[in-house]
Amino acid sequence: MSQLEHLWAGWRQAYVKGETSPQSLVETPEGLSIFSAIEQSGLPDEETLIIHRGETCFVLLNVYPYTTGHSMVIPFREVENLSDLTSQEYEELWQLVRTTVQSLEEAYNPDGVNVGLNQGQAAGAGIPEHLHVHCLPRWLGDTNFSTTVAGVRVLPETVKDTWTRLRKAWNK
């Protein structure tokens, strides 16, 4: 008879409910996307999980990650479409995507990296009014029974630890 194994991640419950999300502390004023509200909150980057601030764009750790290290590159200016970006914003966006991927590879040594942009609600954009590019490290077999059967993801570290790890890798 095989023994049933238990996977305990009790610390995740408050996170899943959004009770301990650093970004949930940020109020979203009328007319601002959650990304703009986070960036303009005045809170330290460690609390908002901003990994890097550039001239026209910033990099933010996803507080509801698909995998550990799930980051987003976001222009400061709220635009819906790639074609709405200025040349400077466009260039910096993709430069930061490249640096984000390099940082993820340095910090996590993944088997691969997904880079994706969902432009518009029909394409799956959760916040369609503020364009953003997702960067996700991936590992062979990283989708398991928890995701398939229970619709749950189990992450091996806290988002604060992920932020610290990515900031360190970013500065290399």
Instruction: Give the CA-trace dihedral at 66, 100, 56, 95, to 10 degrees.
Output: -130
pLDDT of residue 142: 74
- What does residue 161 show for φ and ψ, rounded to 5 degrees? -65, -40
pLDDT tier at 63, thresholds 50, 70, 90: confident
Cβ proximity of 165 and 103 under 8 Å = no
pTM for the model stands at 0.81
Known catalytic residue: 132?
A: yes
Active-site annotation holder among 52, 70, 130, 132? 132
CATH of the domain spanning 12-170, picked from 3.90.110.10, 3.40.50.1400, 3.30.428.10, 3.40.50.150? 3.30.428.10
Q: How far apart are alpha carbons 14 and 33 in whole angstroms?
A: 24
* pLDDT above 70: percentage of residues in the chain: 75
Q: How far apart are alpha carbons 134 and 137 in whole angstroms?
A: 10
pLDDT digits (tens, 9 = 90+) for 114-163: 999 999 999 988 889 999 999 999 988 776 544 444 455 556 688 899 99
